[in-house]
Structure 1
Amino acid sequence: MSDMTTSQDFTAAISEALPFLRRYGRALTGDQDTGDRYAAATLEAVLEDRSVIDAASTVKTGLFKMFHTLWKSTGAPIEHNETGLRAEAQKHLAKLTENTREALLLHTIEEFNVQAVAEIMDIDQSEADHLLSVARREMEDAIAGRVLIIEDEAIIAMDLENVVADMGHRVTGIARTRVGAVDIANKERPDLILADIQLADNSSGIDAVNDILAAHGDRPVIFITAFPERLLTGERPEPAFLISKPYSEAQVRSAVSQAMFFSSTETLKA
């Protein structure tokens, strides 16, 4: 393997990839604990037999392939004892074409190219292309709703607004501060919140989201940050959906579709 020459290099590569594996698991399952359990099981499998990683194009690709192998072996389980938003999410999941959500997350959120997606999922590249096409159509056609954007940079806020509106959602408002976000949410409750972490007056987007959820109940949330690895430490509650700055339009579209579709309510605690 070209990017692994020593045990020290291998350990460093695993450590570097682990936060993003955990992010993938969280977005895939819609739940921090469940996603982390899959990540932990993957690491245990690596300790027992790392031949899959040794045969992969990169350590990160091999790690995700091992995760995906475990995910497939459990049948990508859908829980039947959920209530509320999670019950609705499970109904939506049951209607998806098999493997589409996995392919979309790997390609857009984790930024693997189509060749790597095919390698991770152990399918042909043409099949990976097909899954991505189907995933985009199914996710974006599934649900439309009201979106609150919490972002203090005007250009980024306008860009997010355009992307969200183009997907068929309605933006209820754009807030630059914690107080402003709460005020907009009080006037019209959003179905989805898209929030930056650091706001204009040095207030916290995390606090703003938690205020809104406390007042109006659970709803899906996507956080945006320039330093996602700082929030994926495993030391505290973490968001199910997290995209990095600078982001691509495809990442935003995928995250919005996933969050609305899965109705995930995982958030960060300040």
Structure 2
Amino acid sequence: MIVEDQAILAMELEMVLGDAGCDVVGCAMDRASAFEIADRERPDLALVDVNLLDGMTGPQIAQKMVADYGAAVVFLTANPEQIPEGFSGALGAVCKPFDEQTIRAVVAFARQFIFDRTVGATPRRFRLAPWLTTPPSDIAPH
């Protein structure tokens, strides 16, 4: 699923994802249409811009996509400083502008996480979410 308010960029992403073997289940430009598509399609992965037609709703969309739909989320943004500290559960972020090779690598990374729940090599130009880089705490049994 693509959540992007720049129509030309959304179409380009749809083409790149299709060429990479992904089934794009929908493109949304705001929070309401993102949730409508997610309710209907239950996507495995969502590429989400931080700033959309209805404001800085990308982090809210990401949080709901992860919590309610179990989707993996990757932020696409020209403003990485606006990503919340905890990344709203997203795997990471790609800064705009980006190229086809980066998107393909990020999708491959996300697929590995979706199917294995493992974190592989971080693609170039991909900012990994802090929650994926922090090792689990070792808690001694009582």
TM-score when normalising by structure 2 = 0.73
**Cα offset for 1:211?**
2.0
Q: Is the Cα–Cα contact under 8 Å of residues 177 and 203 in structure 1 kept in the other structure?
A: no
**Cα offset for 1:182?**
0.4
Query: In the alignment, which residue of structure 1 is the partner of 2:76?
Result: 224
- Map residues 83-162 of structure 1 onto 2, 5 A cutoff: 148-162=1-15
Q: Give the Cα–Cα distance (whole angstroms) in 1 for the partners of residues 85 and 22 of structure 2.
A: 31
**Cα offset for 1:262?**
1.9
Query: In the alignment, which residue of structure 1 is the partner of 2:17?
Result: 164
Amino acid at match of 2:112: F
Residues 52-99 of structure 1, C-alpha deviations (whole Å, 9 max, x = no match): xxxxxxxxxxxxxxxxxxxxxxxxxxxxxxxxxxxxxxxxxxxxxxxx
Query: In the alignment, which residue of structure 1 is the partner of 2:65?
Result: 212
Provide closer, same or farther for how the CA distance between residues 224 and 170 of structure 1 changes in structure 2, counting only shifts above 3 A. Answer: same
Task: Name which of 76, 84, 99 aligns with 1:248.
Answer: 99
**Cα offset for 1:210?**
1.5
Q: Is the Cα–Cα contact under 8 Å of residues 66 and 72 in structure 2 kept in the other structure?
A: no
Query: In the alignment, which residue of structure 2 is the partner of 1:202?
Result: 55
**Which has the larger share of helix?**
1
Q: Give the Cα–Cα distance (whole angstroms) in 2 for the partners of residues 200 and 227 of structure 1.
A: 15
Query: In the alignment, which residue of structure 2 is the partner of 1:259?
Result: 110
Q: Give the Cα–Cα distance (whole angstroms) in 1 for the partners of residues 68 and 94 of structure 2.
A: 25
Unmatched segments (≥5 aa) in structure 2: 118-127, 131-142
Q: Give the Cα–Cα distance (whole angstroms) in 1 for the partners of residues 14 and 103 of structure 2.
A: 11
**Cα offset for 1:252?**
0.6
Amino acid at match of 1:171: V
RMSD over aligned Cα atoms = 2.4
Q: Within the alignment, does 1:187 sit opposite 2:35 as a pair?
A: no
Amino acid at match of 1:193: A
Partner SS state of residue 152, structure 1? coil
Deviates more, 1:158-167 or 1:196-205: 196-205
Partner SS state of residue 26, structure 2? strand
* Aligned residues with identical type, % of pairs: 36
Q: Give the Cα–Cα distance (whole angstroms) in 2 for the partners of residues 220 and 255 of structure 1.
A: 11
Partner SS state of residue 172, structure 1? coil
Provide closer, same or farther for how the CA distance between residues 201 and 227 of structure 1 changes in structure 2, counting only shifts above 3 A. Answer: closer
Unmatched segments (≥5 aa) in structure 1: 1-147
**Which has the larger share of strand?**
2
Provide closer, same or farther for how the CA distance between residues 241 and 203 of structure 1 changes in structure 2, counting only shifts above 3 A. Answer: closer
Q: Is the Cα–Cα contact under 8 Å of residues 2 and 48 in structure 2 kept in the other structure?
A: yes
**Cα offset for 1:220?**
1.6
Runs of 4+ in 1 over 4 A off after TM superposition: none
**Cα offset for 1:203?**
4.5
Q: Is the Cα–Cα contact under 8 Å of residues 50 and 82 in structure 2 kept in the other structure?
A: no
